[in-house]
Amino acid sequence: MSLVQAGLTLVVAVGALSVVAALLVPRAARPAAVGGGIALCGVAGVVAGTAALAGQGWSVALPGLLPLAGVVLTVDALGGVFLAVVGAVAVAVGIYGVGYARHGLDGRGVQAVLPLFVVAMLLVPAAGSVGTFLVCWELMAVASLLLVLAEHRRRDEVASAARWYAVMTHLGFVAILIGLVVLAARAGNDSFPALRAVAGQLSPGTAGLVFVLTLTGFASKAGIVPLHAWLPRAHPEAPSHVSALMSAAMVTMGVYGIVRVGFDLLGGGPRWWWLLVLVLGAASAVYGILQAAIGTDLKRLLGYSTTENMGLVLIGVGTGGLFAAAGNMVLAGLALTAALLHVINHAAFKTLLFLAAGSVLHATGSRDLDALGGLRTGMPATTAAFGLGALAGSALPPGTAFVSEWLLLQALVHGLSAGGVSTAIVMPLAVATVALTAGLAVATFVKAFGIGFLARPRSAAAAAARESPPSMLAGMAVAGAGCVVLALLPALVLPAVGRVGGLLLGAADPVAAGMLTVRLQGFTGALSPLLVAAAVLVGTVTVAGVLRLVAARRRARVATRLWDCGAGPQSARMEYTATSFAEPLQRVFDNVVRPEQDVDVTHHRESRYLVEAVNYRLRVPDRVEYRFYRPVLGAVRRWGRVGPRLATGSVHRYLGYGFYSLCGVLVLLVVTR
């Protein structure tokens, strides 16, 4: 038995036992039993994925499990990347959930669905046929929807978020279903090898239709603009460990689907396919990080950050497809390697950030950055975890995302001379997009960390916050260790990821990675993350030491407190809030975000010149949602009002509908034949 087979068998067996344990084990022991099972499923997923990346392949057909086509499971190197990603996230979430679930989330329903969700996500990249893939995909979607609804009795917003998520995810499923059915209809069966064999015989129109339909469905799951509307709603309202699973693992299934269908099943495609992917990715990256930079809800901010990072991944995927269509396989492999590495890096730091945000929510009951502050005193471990996650997500050395974004920029910069009008136009814009999002990401996480953790507490709950239970801290420690390893030693995963890109494109490995240095193959470019981290550490220590030495040589001076208009010591009201911190950025991008501001001034009764209170409200609506979805929803409402007029209960009217429909079909047949 291979490690891949053993790992997936253990995933299914332990997942089933965890569901049974959630239903039968007493309430006090339920979180530990389910959390341990999820962590063990994650370990098995990591083992199976690592074995697949090392070259082990595995396939099995179980014709009796599903009607018609049965179940086909096939694991290759591409599937191994996503198996390892989902498994690693599940390990941290399973440990964290032991403590987090003890506060109202230890019911049988939530605890039974959680391992089912993890198992479904691990089976999606292992599916080897259209039928198996669609069943696992829908199981993943339904399980995640039930988990989003877990706290619907506590907040009214949960039901609205779940409705948006249900509609968006199932519309995306319909698009994927139609696209894959069109492709499978041309093949002898629905297995992936049969689809690969028939892909070269498709007409350009049919192949383009399949790609666009599947891209629509998978982009919706990845939270790509303009199909992102569910993500900033569902992620904040779901329990925080579920948010980590959705944001760090589930959205990557959208990327997996695009790569699997576009590069593997369809064998690549014309340039316009990948230009479309690149443009969608660039728009998502800029729009997502801009909304995150201005937002004040901590978990909503992290949700928009997911849209930004999935946009960066699609820039890499689109660039890889564009270069492959032009015949430059070396650059295509480099871009695709950068995209897959960023998937791994994003999973690590977004898991840590959502778990830390859940710790804050657990301690304070608030996600509003304007109401937080001062958390470093009562929650030092959570503060350190969020700070590490913020550094990892900021694309600054020695952050986790730094290496993958450096590789992406190398592919884009070297692609400037690749030739072609479209490449000459798109590559500079893509470079500018990556640079802009990197700068905005730094501002976003400086705001979140500085205002939320380092400033003075702006509420009683923030001032009284205390550290989370040990199991939650242990889950954050696992995610934090992953961030550190990926930041300092990316060579542990980079060669395997590079081979995946090479296998998909039929090219040599684009990156040569040693323990200290990452070098590009065929281009000038090298990076040593460990040496960069050492240089940053030495520089920081040197500057701090010089400043302390200079301060020690100066004579101490006794000074009275500066004049402060009688206001006394500085209070939290005198410090920046998240809203005021983001106000300069809001002004710069005012035409894009179009904020809604309202200022109410209340005067004293005795004099209209004396102000009693000023109430300032700022709301930044999602303009894409406003422009794109508002007209659609309005049309649906109008059609709903027309419905009762059509369905009056009259049998004669219904017979008339049938008669006119039949006549219309007959006329259509006469005209078309």
Taking only the tens place, the pLDDT of each residue in 132-153 is 999 999 999 999 999 999 888 7
Q: Which amino acid, 34?
A: V
Contact (Cβ atoms closer than 8 angstroms) between residue 53 and residue 109: no
**Cis amide bond preceding 398, omega within 30:** yes
Task: Look at residue 109 in the predicted model and tell me its pLDDT.
Answer: 85
**Cis amide bond preceding 380, omega within 30:** no
Task: Look at residue 284 in the predicted model and tell me its pLDDT.
Answer: 93
Query: Which among 292, 149, 300, 279 has a CA at the least distance from the CA of 226?
Result: 279
Q: Give me the helix-helix angle, 421-449 and 271-294, nearest 10°.
A: 20
Task: Look at residue 570 in the predicted model and tell me its pLDDT.
Answer: 66
Per-residue burial over 235-269, b if 16 or more Cβ lie within 10 Å, else e, is bbbbbbbbbbbbbbbbbbbbbbbbbbbbbbbbebb
DSSP 167-184: HHHHHHHHHHHHHHHHHH
Q: Which residues of the chain have pLDDT under 70?
A: 418-419, 515, 554-570
Taking only the tens place, the pLDDT of each residue in 59-103 is 888 887 777 778 889 999 999 999 999 999 999 999 999 988 877
Pairing of strands 71-75, 58-62: antiparallel
Q: Which residues 6+ apart lie within 8 Å of 533 measured at CB?
A: 397, 398, 487, 488
Task: Look at residue 15 in the predicted model and tell me its pLDDT.
Answer: 93
Structure tokens at 77: 């190197």
DSSP 316-342: HHHHHHHHHHTT-HHHHHHHHHHHHHH
Bridge partners, 615 (sequence order): 600
Q: Which residues 6+ apart lie within 8 Å of 496 measured at CB?
A: 53, 54, 77, 81
Task: Look at residue 394 in the predicted model and tell me its pLDDT.
Answer: 87
Backbone torsion region of residue 69, taken as left when φ is above 0, otherwise alpha when ψ lies between -120 and 50, otherwise beta: alpha
Q: Which helix (H) or strand (E) holds 518?
A: strand 518-520
- The answer to whether the Cα torsion of 652, 656, 658, 662 is positive or negative is positive
Contact (Cβ atoms closer than 8 angstroms) between residue 320 and residue 623: no
Task: Look at residue 557 in the predicted model and tell me its pLDDT.
Answer: 60
Structure tokens at 581: 């911190």
Task: Look at residue 559 in the predicted model and tell me its pLDDT.
Answer: 54
DSSP 392-444: HHTT-TT-HHHHHHHHHHHHHHHGGGS--HHHHHHHHHHHHHHHHHHHHHHHH
